[in-house]
Amino acid sequence: MRFFKMIPALLLAVTATPAVMAASPNCAVEGGTLMSWPAGDPLWEMCWLPPNSSIGPRGSGLELRAVHYRGIQVARRIHAPMLFAEYRTSTCYRDWKDQGTPTLAHTSTHNTLGVPPDMNRLAATSCSVSQHPTASYGTCPFQQQTGGGYSCTGNDGVVIEDLGDQVRFVSQYRADWYMYDSRIRFYENGVIEPTFGFGNNNGTLSNTTHWHHNYWRFDFGIDGQDSHIVSVNGVDQTVEFHDVRGAPGSTTWAVRNPGTGRGYELVPGANDYLVGTNESGRGFHNVDFMATLYKPNEYGDNPNYSLGDCGMNHNALVNGENILEKHAVLWYRVAVRDSTANNWPIGCGGAGNPCIPQDSMVCKTAGPQLVPVGDWGQGGQPAEEADLSVAVISTPEPVEAGAVVRFSVTVSNDGPQDVSEAEVTLSVPAVLTLSSLRFRGATDWVCAQAGGGVTCTMEVGQITAGHEAAFHVDFDVDPDATSGTVESQATVGSSQWADPDTGNNAATVFTTIEAVDLDTIFGHDFECRAGAPGCL
């Protein structure tokens, strides 16, 4: 059972991995300024560059290089080199990302770690204050109070804040009237949350429904190596591909080092689902995700980055090259829609199809969560997860109508955590009715029938990592059941821990029922019908 984590949750496997010597980024070589957090015994270290120093044909906003967690390299580069604005019926742009603009923050937290900021007045960008559907707030200080140590940063627009359990980068850059911000949080448990915000400083073109599309580029170099495996919902991929998010919770992507097992899973954020691909219908943005083979200086689909080049050509990046155990790069699109009154969706205004109220000046944000998988703790604590699986068999096979069929259920825990709260649901056909419960082992299960199923809850004991628990559930077969095969399913889950592998949480069993010979007069052992077991 997968729980999509909207709060940070570190995933650490218990499988042995090669020892890794603690390393730190060399910003004299990588470029940028070193960030070490916490300062005394850093968990996160990286080199950061402001938008006006970022790489790419027109920059890539806040750029992070040589990102390390617990002395292990996570990524060579995290940035966003492609950004677009498109309008419903008119022009469109490739916006630039190399023009920093000031951010409002307290002087004591301008890139000063170990100093907790006022949690009621964190660093502010245009996006932070733009919450009115039609009002604009200009540039820093965005009509906010200064004084008390608060002022606008320099034109690099970058603030780093120590928030206790995380360190947060806040950066802001502009493309004429548009104000964009990147916020990237690095949590002490290894989770990374990149968020992109889209704002407007003076209301230009706010009367036209339009979209903004930002493409994050994650150049992973896990363990400092160039061998990666990219997977979709746990299925490894061999060649470059593009993908879409689909329904909420349906798709995640991951990258890992096959030698160490360390990697990261990309989980879409809730706001990422609000704007699908090609919502405008103009065919400019048709994918949410791409995995490509690394190529030097490939920071987008078009190296020229012409201002009027409206669409992102994913085929220029994804062209079938082998990425299995190669240096792979992940691209991820986030987008927002700025709607004007009585304008969206197309054809709105009739009965049952109301228009979206104007929200074109409200700054909107979107972004995924990157969750570590594998052992990033160098022998640290086990992950807060438990891999449960279930198996079920029915006996006897076949079973007679009117007899008792026993379902034997085995729940296995591959760890790393012990489980004391587990639940198994048996979905059975109408011809089976709960009869009794049998259990064995160090657990005590209680079952109850509800509708077309039976729910069995582990009430006593626990299933320790690497062990299993088994119990039996007896069902009465309807005496009037006809001959045939019926299907039942067992599903296991736990509200106690996340489950890293959902593919083994369900099992199916088929039971053959044989109808009773209606010529039987007495229901006693001394009378048998022809062909029954033990009868002549």
Q: Are residues 138 and 250 in the same domain?
A: yes
- Does 369 share its domain with 392? no
CA 241/CA 231 separation, integer angstroms:
11
Classify residue 525: in a domain, yes or no.
no
CA distance readout (Å), 48 to 33, 170, 171, 188: 5, 12, 11, 18
User: Is residue 319 a part of any domain in this protein?
Assistant: yes
11 occurs within a structural domain: no
Enter the tokens of residue 229.
């495996």
- Is 454 inside a domain boundary? yes
Q: How far apart are CA 230 and CA 303, in angstroms?
A: 25
Same domain, yes or no, for 212 and 346? Answer: yes
DSSP state of 11: -
413 and 352 part of one domain: no
CATH code, domain with 310: 2.70.98.20
Domain match, 265 and 342 both = yes
Instruction: Please name the residues in contact with 129: beta carbons below 8 A apart, sequence gap of 6 or more.
Output: 137, 142, 143, 144, 363
Q: Are residues 404 and 274 in the same domain?
A: no
User: Same domain for 246 and 149?
Assistant: yes
Q: Name residue, tokens 């970022």.
A: 54
> What 3-state DSSP class applies to 292?
strand
DSSP state letter for 30:
H
Number of domains within the chain: 2
Q: Name the residue range of residue 395's domain.
A: 386-514
Q: Is residue 381 part of a domain?
A: no
Say if residue 65 is in the same domain as residue 213.
Answer: yes
| 527 inside domain | no
Domain CATH number, residue 395: 2.60.40.1530
Residue 322 lies in a domain: yes
CB 335 within 8 A of CB 366: yes
Rounded Cα gap, residues 279 and 34, in angstroms:
40
**Cis peptide before 345, with omega less than 30 degrees from 0?**
yes
Domain's final residue, options 320, 345, 373: 373
Same domain (yes/no): 507, 445? yes
Q: In this structure, is residue 458 part of a structural domain?
A: yes
For residues 353 and 398, state if they share a domain.
no
- Among the candidates 318, 343, 373, a domain finishes at 373
Burial class (CB in 10 A: 0-12, 13-18, 19+), 534: exposed
The helix (H) or strand (E) run that includes residue 448 is strand 443-450
At which of 329, 347, 373 does a domain end?
373
pLDDT tens over the chain, length 536 residues: 323 232 222 222 223 333 344 678 999 999 999 999 998 889 999 999 999 999 999 999 999 999 999 999 999 999 999 999 999 888 888 999 999 999 988 876 655 677 777 777 888 899 989 989 999 999 999 988 787 788 888 888 899 999 888 999 999 999 999 999 999 999 999 999 999 998 888 988 888 899 999 999 999 999 999 999 999 999 999 999 999 999 999 999 999 999 999 999 999 999 999 999 999 999 999 999 999 999 999 999 998 888 888 899 999 999 999 999 999 999 999 999 999 877 888 888 888 888 888 999 999 999 999 999 998 874 445 567 888 999 999 999 999 999 999 999 999 988 878 888 899 999 999 899 888 765 555 557 888 877 678 888 887 778 877 788 888 888 899 999 999 999 999 999 988 888 888 889 999 999 999 998 755 444 444 445 444 444 44
- Rounded to the nearest angstrom, the gap between the alpha carbon of residue 210 and the centroid of all alpha carbons in its chain is 27
Do 368 and 392 belong together in one domain? no
**214 and 355 assigned to the same domain:** yes
